[in-house]
Amino acid sequence: MLVIGEAGLELRRTNAFNLLPGHEKHYVPQSEHLYSVLQPSADDVLFLGKSYEALFDRYEVLQALVFADLYECKAHHIWGPIGRFGWKYASLRGERNPFTSIIEEAEKIKGGWPPIQAGLFRGSYDRFVEVATQYNELLKGLNWW
């Protein structure tokens, strides 16, 4: 499970996950580690094969947006963890990437989108749009890739 909360933020600030073997130069080492550790088990149980990467990206985008929604309520500004989807966003700006795919999917279904129906984003499509728009600005401002 991705480490979130004050302890998780401190691990990110201190670059602790960069100390893991093979992750020394990764921009999102926690995400890369989780991706590689979960893949064998997920594939054994769910037979995901090549779809694993896309599903993992989807999970991370949703996690980041939900975290951003909750964080904004506490800190009064949007922030959410950047995962592997971040470099895909940066390298595929004008093309379909995991972040924009989620946005497009929600836009088609609006209030009927399953995460909204499940009560995420306060059960409001408008709240989702507000969070996603601000998070998009956060992604646009990244220059570490």
pLDDT digits (tens, 9 = 90+) for 110-121: 999 999 999 999
User: Of 88, 91, 84, 79, which Cα lies nearest the Cα of 137?
Assistant: 79
Structure tokens at 102: 């989620």
Where in the chain are the domains? 6-140
- pLDDT tens digits, 52-111: 889 999 999 999 999 999 987 777 788 888 888 887 877 766 567 899 999 999 999 999
> Distance (Å, rounded) from C-alpha 103 to C-alpha 97?
10
Q: Do the Cβ atoms of 60 and 31 come closer than 8 Å?
A: yes
